[in-house]
Chains A and B, each alone.
Chain A
């Protein structure tokens, strides 16, 4: 009886510590054909911060995100969003997949893609009304794409496609934004526009988690980092977790000297 009570108390303490957190990942393991690509990763993402998931190619960063979102089936582990299962908090979670993961020759215009962000509001048969149109346009304005609303998505540049994907997530009006490589292969103007939007989200108290691979911008863009290579290597505020040792472990000493030292990268 005594032991049981203790168990309950322990669980209580742990839950209280993480209850407010937008995303808690526990023991996440994903394997393809017996080869683990993510192994037993625990992470707690803090509310109102921009967190970067950092690591080399093939480190399982995107897979971690996709497993947390239930897009790939993990071998073990679980993710809780705002202390609940994903199913119970879908309205508060927006996901921006990798741009290259879809076929941009799909018959849709920019507005049609952004309107997909309203799917949960509209349901199967809900009428797409004036206020929905306004939501789509204001999302497009926030990423500077309002002039492109009637364009066929196949005619967009890579950076513009990425902005459209971000606008679709903004239309969802979520509390937690999960972005998979939002800066990959985009032009400098788009990169600036995106980080501006992410920082505005943070100012509005929203939480942002982004998979990222460009080490030179980590300190400028992120408050917290999760450095990983299959396993978690370090996590926490950039100042304490984004260290030379962590990067050496993650990249196996394959980094250029200038990149290896975050202090120097900042200067």
Chain B
């Protein structure tokens, strides 16, 4: 069943939903990257919640003028208008008052959302028909999605991706160093507005699929996941799009194969699973690799200190150090070095001395900054440089 869903074999509606969701997922991941890097991720939550009054007002306007109140483009246009006013409210509050941005977000988000809920309640009492289902914009609803809806979502998603590609350089410049960006001629206010405009576009387009409460997850989780795997902006953007797309594909597939499960929340849960796996297993930035690296480094430092102590005939007090030396056959249980241990200790001692000279030599100072207690100086300096150091500290002493 799931396989059918994932290969688009589950019928017309399921296929429409999946294609629309995947494009939305990609667009959201790509856009969210810059939001995350600019450290304004939660502004998107305010924007999303500010769509609700717009939906209500648009429905009322449509219904009163004798149209079908659930005309999707009309509702989305209305949601965009109030979302934009919510965005400006956050920006005005955080730049013109002493309120910080997070406080401004909290105030705007809750006020707009409350207004939206009140409007939806009012709509329930209206005599115009077909008002049922407006609340589906809260959590999304893909049942009965029309081809025109899917095309709207797809085109919106493509447009967003194209604009992100066009503005990728100024957006990453502004995210990293706004001061430098502005002296390079980047108009900060315009780029920030573009960034937020794209977020607004994704939010509005995503209302039908995941709803306004969960859209923030699609914008934030994929970039955060991608960040675990790479140290380059371009790759974070691409991976975030990929993770967003994959999560949407799997989530929509799951919901299509088990009819009563909601699409939006499933997409978010799949996205979170990708995040959790990445956090645990990613190389370098993942938890497991940080833990292993830390333990390895700790062991290395203990070994080094132990060997230096042995070389100078000093006693070793730390049990971990003795245990490590013993495990490698370099020392006996009483802390006395084995023959191998004596040789390794002399070598470590010499390496340490060479580093010491390097640190005191101005030309080698930068290289010497790479000292971490583990790196051999042979890996940092050239043979000639080491020969020069050795000339200064004299020949190695023979090990008895």
Task: Report if A and B associate in a common complex.
Answer: yes
Residues of A within 8 A of B (CB): 66, 69-71, 86-87, 90, 93-95, 97, 101-103, 106-109, 112-113, 116, 119-120, 122-125, 144, 152, 154, 157, 159-160, 168, 187-190, 192-193
Stretch at the interface among B19-27, B48-56, B173-181, B297-305: B173-181
Known contacts A95-B183, A119-B186; decide if A112 and B233 are in contact (CB<8 Å).
yes
Residue of A nearest to B175 (CB): A106
As a 0/1 sequence over residues 229 to 254 of chain B, the CB contacts with chain A under 8 angstroms (1 = contact) are: 01111011000000000000000000
Interface of B is mostly: helix
**Most chain A beta-carbon contacts within 10 A, residue among B169, B183, B227:** B183
As a 0/1 sequence over residues 328 to 371 of chain B, the CB contacts with chain A under 8 angstroms (1 = contact) are: 00000000000000000000000000000000001001100100
**Most chain A beta-carbon contacts within 10 A, residue among B37, B39, B170, B365:** B365
The answer to the question of B167 belonging to the interface, with a C-beta cut-off of 8 Å to chain A, is yes
What B residues does A159 contact at CB under 8 A? 369
Residues of B within 8 A of A (CB): 37, 39, 166-167, 169-170, 172-173, 175-180, 182-186, 227, 230-233, 235-236, 362, 365-366, 369
Alpha-carbon separation in the docked complex, A67 to B92 (Å): 22
10 closest residue pairs by CB, A with B: A189-B365, A152-B231, A95-B183, A97-B179, A106-B176, A102-B177, A90-B185, A119-B184, A71-B179, A107-B231
Q: How many whole Å from A64's CB to the nearest CB in chain B?
A: 14
What B residues does A108 contact at CB under 8 A? 172, 176, 231-233
Whether A70 and B182, one on each chain, are in contact in the complex, defined by CB atoms closer than 8 angstroms, is yes
What A residues does B178 contact at CB under 8 A? 71
Whether B365 and A188, one on each chain, are in contact in the complex, defined by CB atoms closer than 8 angstroms, is yes
Whether A120 and B182, one on each chain, are in contact in the complex, defined by CB atoms closer than 8 angstroms, is no
Q: How many whole Å from A262's CB to the nearest CB in chain B?
A: 26
Known contacts A101-B177, A124-B169, A157-B369; decide if A69 and B184 are in contact (CB<8 Å).
no
Alpha-carbon separation in the docked complex, A132 to B230 (Å): 23
What A residues does B232 contact at CB under 8 A? 107-109, 112
Whether A90 and B233, one on each chain, are in contact in the complex, defined by CB atoms closer than 8 angstroms, is no
What B residues does A188 contact at CB under 8 A? 365
Q: How many whole Å from A180's CB to the nearest CB in chain B?
A: 9
Known contacts A69-B179, A109-B232, A119-B170; 11 additional CB pairs below 8 A are: A93-B183, A101-B177, A101-B179, A107-B227, A107-B236, A108-B176, A119-B173, A119-B184, A122-B169, A154-B231, A193-B366
Whether B184 and A97, one on each chain, are in contact in the complex, defined by CB atoms closer than 8 angstroms, is no
Whether B170 and A124, one on each chain, are in contact in the complex, defined by CB atoms closer than 8 angstroms, is yes
Q: How many whole Å from A164's CB to the nearest CB in chain B?
A: 11
What A residues does B175 contact at CB under 8 A? 106
Whether B177 and A116, one on each chain, are in contact in the complex, defined by CB atoms closer than 8 angstroms, is yes
Alpha-carbon separation in the docked complex, A69 to B182 (Å): 8
What B residues does A193 contact at CB under 8 A? 366
Alpha-carbon separation in the docked complex, A193 to B184 (Å): 25
Q: How many whole Å from A61's CB to the nearest CB in chain B?
A: 15
Chain A to chain B contacts (Cβ below 8 Å), 12 pairs: A70-B183, A71-B183, A95-B179, A97-B180, A102-B177, A107-B231, A108-B176, A112-B232, A112-B233, A123-B169, A124-B169, A189-B369
What B residues does A119 contact at CB under 8 A? 169-170, 173, 184-186
What B residues does A123 contact at CB under 8 A? 169
Whether B365 and A187, one on each chain, are in contact in the complex, defined by CB atoms closer than 8 angstroms, is yes
Alpha-carbon separation in the docked complex, A108 to B233 (Å): 6
Alpha-carbon separation in the docked complex, A159 to B367 (Å): 13
Alpha-carbon separation in the docked complex, A66 to B365 (Å): 33
Residue of B nearest to A152 (CB): B231
Whether B180 and A95, one on each chain, are in contact in the complex, defined by CB atoms closer than 8 angstroms, is yes
Whether B37 and A107, one on each chain, are in contact in the complex, defined by CB atoms closer than 8 angstroms, is yes
Alpha-carbon separation in the docked complex, A253 to B237 (Å): 54
What A residues does B230 contact at CB under 8 A? 107
Residue of B nearest to A117 (CB): B184
Residue of B nearest to A126 (CB): B169
Q: How many whole Å from B160's CB to the nearest CB in chain A?
A: 16
Residue of B nearest to A156 (CB): B369
